Amino acid sequence: MKASIGRVGLFGKYGDRGGRELLERLYGLLKARALGIVVEAETAAALGMRDVPTCALERIGTEIDLAIVLGGDGTLLGVARTLALHHVPLIGINAGRLGFLADVSTDNIGMIDHILDGHYQTEERFLLSAAIIRDGVPVLTRLALNDVVVNKGELARLIEFETRIDGQLVSGSRADGMIVATPTGSTAYAMSAGGPILHPTLAAIVLVPICPQTLSNRPIVVHSGSRVEIVLVSDQSAHVTFDGQSNFRLQNGDRLHVCRAETPVTLLHPEGRNHYEVLRQKLNWGRRV
């Protein structure tokens, strides 16, 4: 985190009007510390917060030193992708469901005071940079913190594609799709599809096939410096999604290039956070029925 925090940005879940009270409590806590505060514009509009300084999401990264995100992991993913290029650290307050990333409880918002006093753990998570190449020309580039997923379209039938790593053919597959995930995303869709859980500090990418026709087609883990390429080889309906929050229609012959992005995301966690304790709590490991 920057040595001096002068201005804090507040972000909330757009469709959750119940978050206004929590966001106003946060606003008051920060104001009592004489910090500058700016609320992301769509958050303020959705929650009916008037007479507060606001800034559009596209510009807010240049205006703040720290971001506090109230919502679930999905809310934090969207904010993190935008702020990564501005090197703004994030604190997540979990008003969603599992909350692997947003790990400050809404019942303990006072923990923000402790973090601002310097009692926190810093953690860097790398993102994926993805590009779709069509006829040799890039037609779309996106970042993803969790995963980049190629999947079937509207029809319930398999798609056919090739997977290459660093230019070498890994496999030709018929499946519902392929998940390319970071360690952060290994506890999301990739885990549900049977992939391994990776420790957040691993320099690794996991590739998880979705319902492959060949049952021996298993998840594999490669170094994060690898360049993954997925080529659609049949003229079928297929899409690629980024963190499950944006979608693009693929065409026959499209090439999806995925690699580690240059700029990571910095998360601030409460002091004493234990990754394995988080897994036990969120996934109910070892809990008696």
Residue 100: both structure tokens together: 């692997």
SS3 108: helix
Answer positive or negative: Cα dihedral of 150, 153, 159, 160: negative
* 288 membership: H or E segment, kind and range: none
SS3 189: helix
73 counts as catalytic = yes
CA distance 168 to 105: 45
Catalytic residue among 16, 73, 176, 243, which?
A: 73
Residue 27: both structure tokens together: 């606003």
Residue 63 CA: distances (Å) to CA of 9, 57, 270:
8, 10, 24
What is the maximum alpha-carbon separation in the chain? Answer: 60
Q: 16 — phi, psi (to 5°)?
A: -110, 90
- Neighbouring C-beta atoms of residue 226, cutoff 10 Å: 17
- The three-point CA angle 76-41-130 to 5° equals 45
| Residues marked as catalytic | 73
